[in-house]
Amino acid sequence: MTDPHHADLSKWIDDKGRIRQYPRRAADRATLLKFIADKVIATGEVLTEEQLNKRLAPFTDDVAALRRYLVVAEHLDRTRDGSAYTEGSPPPRGSVEHPAQNVDSASP
C-alpha cells in the first residue's frame, strides 16, 4: 500500500526508485527530498560522506547534487568540514520569511 503522504512521488521517482526529475514546485520538491531523507538516515544517526553517498546512490547518479539539495533544504545537517552528516530539521511549511521582509524601512 502506498503512503498517502508520498502518493504522488511516481511523477518523480521511477519504478526502480530512482529520481526521474526534480519537481519545479518547492512544495513537491520538499516532499520528494523528505521522502529520500527518511529513507537514508535515522534520527540520531551520524554518517560519513562516504556512507551517505552509498545510501543516496540508489536514487540518482548525481549523488553530490542530491546530497547538496538535502542539506540546503535542511533535511540533512553537515559539519563545517563536510566529514559528518546527521538528520536535519527543516522549518515548518510557510514559516520561512523572505530576507527582504526582515529589513527595517526606518534604517538609514
Domains of the chain: 27-89 (1.10.10.10)
Label residue 8 by pLDDT band (50, 70, 90): confident
Label residue 17 by pLDDT band (50, 70, 90): very high
pLDDT score recorded for residue 91: 62
Contacts of 59 (CB under 8 A, 6+ apart): 13, 17, 18, 19, 36, 66
pLDDT at 85 over 60: yes
pLDDT at 67 over 60: yes
When pLDDT is averaged across residues 75-86 and rounded to a whole number, the result is 92
When pLDDT is averaged across residues 48-58 and rounded to a whole number, the result is 97
pLDDT score recorded for residue 106: 38
Using an 8 Å Cβ cutoff, are 34 and 90 in contact? yes
